[in-house]
Amino acid sequence: MKLVLAKDVRFRRILQQGVLIRQAAGEALGINGVGARILQLLVEGRSVPEIVSLLTGEFDVEKRILKEDTNRFVEELLELGVLEPAPGETA
Amino acid sequence: MAFADRFVSVPDLFPARLAGEHWGTAQVSLDFLGATYSMTGLTPGFQEAIEERFGDLVVAPDIETDKKAIEFKVFRSAREDFHHFDLAGWDVQFDFQYHSEHVKMAGYQLMGFLSLYPRLRVGLWTCSETKSDFILGFANLLRVASAYALLENGGVLIHSAALSDGYRSWLFPGHSGAGKSTLSRLAAHRGWEIYSDDLNAIVPTGKRVSVQQVPFAGDFGRERLEILPPRPLEFLCKLRQSEADAVAIMETGSTFALLVACAPFVNCDPFRIHRLEENLLALVEEVPGYVLDFSLDGQLQGLVELVEERDRRGWNETGSC
Amino acid sequence: MTYFKLVEEGRAKNCLLSVLLELTYRCNLDCFFCYNDLGLTGKPLQRQDYERLLEELAELQVLELTLSGGEPLASPCFWPVGRKARELGFVLRLKSNGHALGENVAKRIQRELDPYVIEISLHGATAKTHDRQTQVVGSFDRLLSNLQGLRALGLRFRLQTTMTRWNEAEIESMFELAQSLDALLIVDSVVTPRDDGDRTPLSIAPSPAAGNRLRLLQEAQVRTACTLEPVSGKTTTASPDSYTASKTPLFPKKHCGTGATTLTIDPYGNVYPCVQWRRPVGNLHQQTIRQIWFHSPQLPEIRRINEQAHRLVSGMPRKERPRTFCLGLAEELTGDPLALYPQLLDPETA
C-alpha cells in the first residue's frame, strides 16, 4: 500500500533527525534518525518492503528486526494520522 | 458601491502609504506650473512613454531641484489586484476617497495615493506593462496631482477653454457641451492662441492672475504641448449658446459658483474645499466675469468687442447690452 | 528528541530552520511606528526568484516560512509564493495586519495556502487607539469583524501587539479581547527605531510602569495552543535508538536564533540574520541562499557575536538579567550589538 503524508502534516529532516508538524493539532513531533529516514522514503513513494531492503544496507541490523520496527513505526504514524493511504489506495 | 470596488479586486488592500516595489530604476523629471515632478520607479519603456507624451516639459535631473521636487513614485501591482474589462465605449471615470492627510484615487488598472503633508508626494500602483496603458493611468494621476499642487500654491485648475490674443487671456469655464471647443476652433481660425479647450491653470503671479498651460490635451488639444507663455487673465466668461451674441455681467457669487463647479478633483474634497474657496475668492475679486451668449455663426471679434465695451461701461450698470 | 531541543541544537549547529520573507513594503495601513525602511530601493525579487529560493530552502530542509511585509497580501507575489510554500511542505506563517482578511480572502487563504497560523497586529482595545496607531479610520472595526470570520472558518490566528504610550492603558483590555476570541496575544514591550535609523517611533515608547504591569499580566497568562511548542512526552521514535550511534559534539550555545537558525529577506533580495538585525549578509541577486548560508563572510561574525551575547546574558546574576535582549536592536540603538541599551533596563534594575 502506498502511503502519503496527511494533508495537514509537514515533515523535514533536520540534523539527521526528523520533525513532523501536525498543523491542525498544533503539534510538533520529533523523530529519530531511522524514523526520519523511513518517513523520507515513504514520502518518496517507496513501499515498506522496499524500505526494509534499502535500510538493511544502511544500518547494521537484522532484517527481521528492521522489518518489525518499520511496520510498527508505520502503524504508529497511521494511528497518529500522520500518514494516510495515497489516493486510490485502501487502508 | 464602496470606494475602489469597481476597479480593485480587494479594496481593503488599497495602499495607505507611499511604499511598494518599483517597476524599474529609470526616472524622469517634468517641470510645469512652477513645480518639478520627479518620477521614479520607471521601466525604460515607461520613461520613454513619459518623454514622448510630455517631452517639452522634461528637465535634466538636478540635485538641488530634486530636493524640492514633488516625488512621484511608480510601483508594481499584480494583474489580479484589478478588475479587467473592455474599455470600448467606456467613459473614463475614477473613484476618490478624501482624507485630512491624503487622497486616494482608483481607476482602470491604477491605484493612486496623494500624500499631502508636509508636502505633496504621489504614488501610482499599476499592473499596466505597455507604454500605452501606462501613460493613460500616469497622465490621469498627474492631472490630479497638479490640481493639488496648484491649490497649495494659490492657484486652481479649471475645466475651461483659455484663449489669448497674444497679450492677455480669456477664460471660458464650463463642463462638456458648454461650447468650449467650438469657441476654441473659432478663435484658432482667427489666429488666437489656444491654451487648451479643456483644462487650464489659473495662477497668481504677483498682483495679477494669469492663465497657464497644462500638459493635458482636450478634444481640441495637442498630443504634445506647445508651450505658450503665461498671460494675464483679463476676463472670465460663462458661455451660453444662443441665437444672437450678447454679453451680461456675471455677479461675483455666480462667477465663484461656476469656478467651484469647474475646479476638478479638489471641489469634491471636503478637507480642501476651504482652500479652494480662498483661492477662488482672490480670483473673482481680481477678474471680472461675464455671461457670453454666442451664436455659432457669430464673429469672435464681435464677441470680444462686446465684452470690452461692456467692461468699459463698468460694473455699476447691470443688464445685457 | 523534542522539537524544542531540536531547535536548540539547530541554533548551536547553525541549522537554518526558519526564514522570513518581507514580500513588500506596500501596506494598506500606515502604522505610526512601523519599522520598514520605505526609502530602500533595489531590484525587487520576482516570482521566479522566489520560486527558486523556496526550492532551495526546501532542499535545505528549512521548516518554517513566514510571509511578512508591509502587508504581504499586497505583494504581487503573495499568492504564487504562498502556493509554492504549501506545495513544498513548509510550515507557513503569515504576518498580516488583518485589514484585508475578509471572508473571500480568508477562504482563499485556507483553500490555497493552508497556513499554520496567521499572526495579526492588534494596536489597541478600542477603535480610537487602534485607528490612531494605524492611521486608518475604521481599521479596528474591520479587524474585529475579520477576526470573527477567521474564527468561524477555523483558521488559526494569534494577535501581536507592540506596547506603546498610546495603547499601554489598554493592555489589560487587549488581553481580554484576545481571550474573547480564543486567541493568544503576544505583546512586545519595545518600540524600535525604523530600519533606516529614524527614531520617530521611539516618541511613543511605553512608560516603565507599563512595562512592569505587562510583566505581571504575562505571568498570569495561560498560553493556549497556538505555538509550535513540543507536545510534552510525545516523541515518536523508531526503536531501537542504537541505530543512530552519532555522538553529538559540543557546540557553543547562542543567545538567539539570529543568523543561526533564522534569516530574513527583504523585497530587494537583501538577506539579514533576522528581522531586527539589519546587517546584510548577502543578496539573492548575487548569490544563492545556500551560498549565503554556508559561505557569507558576514555570518560567522554574526554567529560569534551571538555566542558572546549568550555568555554575556547568561553570565549576569539572574536578577539583573534582562528579560529580552536583542542584538539587532542593540546595534541599531548604540552601534554595538553587545551593548545593553536603555530600553532593556527594567525600572527596578535601572
Q: How confident is the model at residue B318 (pLDDT cuts 50, 70, 90)?
A: very low
Contact C228 A26 (CB under 8 A): yes
All domains in chain A, ordered by first residue: 3-81 (3.90.930.60)
> How far apart (Å, rounded) are the C-alpha atoms in residues B271 and C44?
36
Residue C327: closest CA among C348, C349, C310, C346: C310
**Contact check, Cβ <8 Å, A23/C225:** no
Burial class (CB in 10 A: 0-12, 13-18, 19+), C168: buried
The pLDDT > 90 percentage for chain A reads: 53
When pLDDT is averaged across residues A2-18 and rounded to a whole number, the result is 92
What domains can be seen in chain B, in order of their start residue?
11-152 (no CATH), 156-313 (3.40.50)
Per-residue pLDDT, C348: 42
Residue C339 touches chain B, beta carbons under 8 Å: no
pLDDT tens-digit series, residues B271-294: 999 999 999 999 999 899 999 888
What is the per-residue pLDDT across C190-210, written as a single tens digit (0 to 9) for each?
Answer: 899 999 999 999 999 999 888
**Amino acid sitting at position B16:** A
Chain C residue numbers with beta carbons less than 8 Å from the beta carbon of B20 are 24-26, 70, 74
Chain A residues within 8 A of C1 when measuring between CB atoms: 17, 30, 32
Give every CB contact of residue C288 below 8 A, 6+ residues apart in sequence: C52, C56
Q: What is the pLDDT of residue A19?
A: 92
pLDDT of residue B225: 53
Instruction: Give the count of beta carbons closer than 10 Å to the beta carbon of residue C111.
Output: 8
Asked if A8 is an interface residue toward chain C (Cβ–Cβ < 8 A), one would say yes
Q: Which of B3, B13, B43, B76 to probe the C interface (max C CBs under 10 A)? A: B13
Q: What is the pLDDT of residue C62?
A: 97
Please state the rounded mean pLDDT for residues B114-131.
96
> Is there a contact between C44 and B21 if contact means CB atoms under 8 Å apart?
yes
Using the Cβ of C231 and the Cβ atoms of chain A, whether some distance falls under 8 Å is answered with yes
- Cβ-based contacts of C2 with chain A (< 8 Å): 28, 30
The pLDDT score that the predictor gives to residue B215 is 85
Chains in contact with C, where contact requires at least 3 CB pairs less than 8 Å apart: A, B
- Segments of chain C with pLDDT less than 50: 222-248, 347-350
ipTM of the complex as predicted: 0.90
Determine the 3-state secondary structure of A44 from DSSP: coil
Residue A19, φ and ψ in degrees, nearest 5 = -130, 130
- Cβ pair C114:A21 closer than 8 A: no
Residue B179 has a pLDDT of 80
Cβ contacts (< 8 Å) between B22 and chain C: which residues?
41, 44
CB contact under 8 A, C28 and B13: yes
CB-hemisphere CA count at 13 Å for C12? 12
Shortest Cα–Cα distance, B23 to chain C (Å): 8
In this prediction, residue B313 carries a pLDDT of 67
List the single residue in C10, C243, C246 with the smallest CB-CB distance to A61.
C243
User: Is-cis flag, bond preceding B118, omega within 30?
Assistant: yes
Residues of C in contact with B10 (CB under 8 A): 73, 100, 102, 104-105
pLDDT given for residue B219 in this prediction: 56
User: Which chain B residue is nearest to residue C266, measuring alpha carbons?
Assistant: B21
The cell numbers describing B215, all together, are: 500638459
| Residue B56 half-sphere exposure toward CB, CA atoms < 13 A | 13
Å from C27 to nearest chain B CA? 5
**What's the pLDDT tens digit per position in B21-70?**
999 999 999 998 889 999 999 999 999 999 999 988 999 877 777 778 99
- For residue A91, pLDDT beyond 70: no
Name the residue with higher pLDDT: B189 or B238.
B238
Q: Which residues contact C122 (CB under 8 A, 6 or more apart)?
A: C130, C143, C159, C160, C161, C174, C177, C178, C185
Measure the CA–CA gap between C30 and C27, rounded to whole angstroms. Answer: 7
| pLDDT confidence of residue C235 | 41
Residues of B in contact with C24 (CB under 8 A): 19-21
Contact call for C239 and A69, based on CB within 8 A: yes
Q: What is the pLDDT of residue A62?
A: 87
Cβ neighbours of A69 in C, within 8 Å: 238-240
Residues forming a β-bridge with C281: none
Put simply, the answer to whether C227 touches A12 (Cβ < 8 Å) is: no
C252 touches chain A (CB under 8 A): no
Continuous segment of H or E residues that includes residue B150: helix B131-152
B-C Cβ pairs (cutoff 8 Å, strict): 70
Query: For C100, which of B12, B20, B80 is closest by C-beta distance?
Result: B12
pTM: predicted TM-score of the whole model, two decimal places: 0.89
Residues of C in contact with A34 (CB under 8 A): 238, 243-244
Residue B298 in this model has a pLDDT that exceeds 70: no
Q: Which of the pair, C216 or B5, is modelled with greater confidence?
A: B5
Query: Would the CB atoms of B16 and C75 count as touching at under 8 Å?
Result: no
**A14 and C63: CB-CB below 8 Å?**
yes
